[in-house]
Amino acid sequence: MKIRIDETAGFCFGVVRTINIAEDRLESNKNKKKTYVLGSIIHNPKEIERLEEEGLSTVTHADFEHIANEGSDLIVRAHGEPPSTFTKAKELGLDLIDATCPLVTGLQNRVKRFYDKGFQIVIYGKANHPEVIGIRGTIADDCIIVSGVTEAEEKVMLDKQTVLFSQTTMEKPVYKKIKEVLSKRVSELIEGGDTKDLFQAKNTLCKEVWGREKKVLEFARENDIVIFVAGRNSSNGKSLFKHMQTENENMHYIEDSDEINDNWFSGVESVGITGATSTPQWYLEKVKSRISEINELENIQ
């Protein structure tokens, strides 16, 4: 049985940057002071466990006053935070280490610029996702969050200048459909005159995320079975997995190698292993080792 890890899998740039910042702080703070991160550093429990073993602790906003008295380092994860978080930290004397993905920071800034110009802000994303919470906070939560075309049709006011943005890890095909629907409906209400700039759409999807879509489809076609490794709460993971299922129904989404079932590989000639942009390469290797053990046992029997 051939077992292969998808060569395009692994951390995206934003996650790599955040992990590097955390590891550098953990190393410099060793035996000196504690290192905290505000919320799960990424949506992958295995990588969180690894960093916790190195000394990283996860805290919430409710812990601010307690840790402010320690003189510890507090990291803002790749998803970013609303301005209110930085304000509160400053008031308490907390020095935040900003590890927000540059793409997310850029998205927050663009949304704020359009908001200040009086545009109705529409965001394709998940309202309670950390990234979206950060974006909402930059404009006092004065925006419309939509998860699909139906919500866009129901919620968006058609008589306002409107701009569409997207959470960086959402699905490109859905974004395009929302854009098409809103571009037609918003302009319908304007009779005569110049309708230019009445509706604008800014593609703020992460290219590293949607750029993998074509490659993972090829990977799905090339293997009899695909083991998809990602955290259960990974938006990118759920999206890629769903996308790959259109080409290969023989797929399994796992978070832990213990979830692997020996019976999945009966009569299988090729196994592909891939994951989300928050799935560490070292854990994909661990999954491969587990499947190799199953294969060896079958050969012995």
Q: How many helices (H) and strands (E) does the chain have?
A: 12, 12
Query: Would you say how long the chain is, in residues?
Result: 301
Q: Residue 144: beta bridge partners?
A: 122
Contact 12, 209 (CB under 8 A): yes
Q: How far apart are CA 222 and CA 269, in angstroms?
A: 11
Q: How far apart are CA 301 and CA 279, in angstroms?
A: 33
Instruction: Please confirm, yes or no, whether 131 is among the known catalytic residues.
Output: yes
Q: How far apart are CA 214 and CA 286, in angstroms?
A: 25
Closest by CA position to 244, among listed 6, 15, 47: 6
Active-site choice (52, 54, 65, 131) = 131
Catalytic residues: 131
